Structure 1
Amino acid sequence: MSKEDAFSAFDAALATTPTSDPWLHAEDEVPRYGPDYDLLGRLLTYPIRSGSVSESGRFAKGIDAWLAHELRRAGFLVDEVWPRATRPRVLPRDLVLFVDKLPKGLSEQVRPHLERITTVAPSDARVLGRAYYKQIDVCIARWDRGPELLLSTKAQVSSFGKNLPNRFEEAYGDAANLRGRYPLAATGFFFLQRDTILTTEREAWERTKDMMSKLRDTDGRGGYTATGLALAHWDDALPAEERVVTVNVDDVPPALRPDQFLDAMIHQVLDVTPVVHHPRVRELRERRDLAVPEPQGTTDDTEETGTLR
């Protein structure tokens, strides 16, 4: 296994950022999610400073790493959210628990071999939809539950109007493909654009907002559970090593902002599973204690082991 992967540049920032309670509401209030936009800016600053601004490369991986971190903040267990914060990025939680329960000497022997088997611990999560396999950028899944959250992300930093139709067609097709096989799963599409679109291609910005609204399943015809939109800003006039990315959501309509997106995705996961599943997520979102541990045999109680490194 190589020493680094596309997410390695973000490991230090994630390791030093606590998975703090993301909810801003009090008991009996309407849930309000508070995304860590500062962390997203820091993650995206790495590829900007290194010149890796490819819309399908490390810049996009920074978005994936951030959204996975947000789901862990919400209370989902560390090994059921992919990409994981450490390598291997995709590894079934059941395997993590199995290796952790082996005698210490045997566990230490098995661990490095497991990480090298790409069919068991792949670098990307691929899920079979109704018509074709789809690489999922952020996922929550377990063997006993199947896919529960399937999230696609896209970034666009230039040529907005030219490439927007392709993004729309791809996203709409992927939604139908995934919802066709997993109608109960939370399916989402998150789009991040550079904020130069506000001044250089205002028509493309209007089309973006319209597209993101129309991709939602508002009529039961197979769109996404939720869509989210954000803008990123940095100054190309500065030397590369001084550039800093900041996240702009003020210019994004409230119905498309990341806070509502994350809340809607989390709500869907909880809404279609029994109360004994994801108890920590429910406790945080509902602001109350639940006297229901997860079923024995499917987890190591409710502790986040996640020790495979």
Structure 2
Amino acid sequence: MERLIGVSIGQGATSQSGRLAKAVDAWIANELRRAGFSPDDVWPRLEAPRVLPHEVSTFLAKLPKTLRADLYKRLLKDKTTAPSSAKVLGRAYVKQVDVVVAQWARGPEIMISTKTMGSSFGNNMPNRFEESYGDAKNLRGRHPLAAIGFVFLLNSSIYSEEPASYERAVDMMRKLRAEFDVYDATALIIADWTHGSAEGINVRPELVPEDLSIHRFFEDTVEAVLSRTPIDMHVMVRQEREAREIPVPEQDPAIETSTTDLEVD
């Protein structure tokens, strides 16, 4: 996280530019892959295209090498099939979701929104939470079984310079998951950084209450997914979580199993 933030800040990223949030997105996506979720199911992917349906990836993997390379180049130019961001239809409107775990047959299973704020906390905080609350209601209305989360990265100056804003942030992050139809998990990440400098980046977990910590966020998010899917889905995730081998084969809806037609006299 510190390295990714440092790269973005060193390149001049600000909270308003969105590039800092993309660093958070990349880190969260990588943590989900480390948890055992299929790399192609987690968006943004490690490489372009950042969003690619699992079924398309499965199809490409079965092609001869030369044909696969040619189609992959074509795919990079096709923003309809392989867009740069994931847009999900909610109950009322289409929402660009920052981190997604999805598959055609399963639909969106994890949807995580991220926001960052580096200054002017008192002025901007109410708007950020209003947006987040509405986005969660919108997505939950159409995807009631998905695990929906919200991660908020704040500059540590909020703690030292605007303690009232810090307390409001903690309170609102808790309220955003208090209702059953809003977020399953919320997390605060507080870090030291200076705009324009890649030096001195330091994540400060000691400034975050345990119930809003990022490791608690991942625990709650993964638990929500596993509790809402059968045992033969996300087997790798279950094995990583329980630290044991689970003797159940993974069911991949993208891979059609062969069936024997019944003969009728």
With the shorter chain as reference, the TM-score category is over 0.9
Q: CA deviation at 1:104?
A: 2.5
Once the two structures are superposed, residues 41-95 of structure 1 have per-residue CA deviations (whole angstroms, 9 ceiling, x without a partner) of 0000012222222344211110000000000010001100000011100001110
Partner amino acid for 1:198? Y
Once the two structures are superposed, residues 129-159 of structure 1 have per-residue CA deviations (whole angstroms, 9 ceiling, x without a partner) of 0000000000000001000000000000000
Alignment identity in percent? Answer: 48
5+ residue gaps, structure 1: 1-39, 302-309
Retained in 1: the 8 A contact 2:105–2:253?
no
Partner-residue secondary structure (3-state), 1:158: coil
Retained in 2: the 8 A contact 1:56–1:155?
no
Of 39, 45, 48 in structure 1, the residue corresponding to residue 6 of structure 2 is: 45
2:32 equivalent in structure 1: 71
- The CA distance in 1 between the partners of 2:253 and 2:236, in whole Å, is 17
Q: CA deviation at 1:251?
A: 1.1
1:32 equivalent in structure 2: none
Q: CA deviation at 1:300?
A: 9.9
- The CA distance in 1 between the partners of 2:43 and 2:62, in whole Å, is 22
Once the two structures are superposed, residues 267-287 of structure 1 have per-residue CA deviations (whole angstroms, 9 ceiling, x without a partner) of 111110111101110001011
1:98 equivalent in structure 2: 59
Matches within 5 A, 1:79-90: 79-90=40-51
Bigger Rg over Cα: 2
- The CA distance in 2 between the partners of 1:251 and 1:185, in whole Å, is 29
TM-score by length of 1: 0.80
TM-score by length of 2: 0.93
Of 231, 246, 262 in structure 1, the residue corresponding to residue 202 of structure 2 is: 246
Partner-residue secondary structure (3-state), 2:200: coil
1:206 equivalent to 2:167? Answer: yes
Of 138, 163, 173 in structure 1, the residue corresponding to residue 99 of structure 2 is: 138
Retained in 2: the 8 A contact 1:89–1:124?
yes
- The CA distance in 1 between the partners of 2:23 and 2:167, in whole Å, is 25
Retained in 2: the 8 A contact 1:215–1:223?
yes
Retained in 2: the 8 A contact 1:175–1:224?
yes
Matches within 5 A, 1:98-117: 98-117=59-78
Q: CA deviation at 1:179?
A: 0.5
Q: CA deviation at 1:234?
A: 2.5
TM-aligned CA distance change 1:134 to 1:101, over 3 Å: same
2:147 equivalent in structure 1: 186
Retained in 1: the 8 A contact 2:191–2:202?
yes
Matches within 5 A, 1:1-309: 40-216=1-177, 218-220=178-180, 222-235=181-194, 240=197, 243-295=199-251, 298-299=254-255
Partner-residue secondary structure (3-state), 1:244: strand
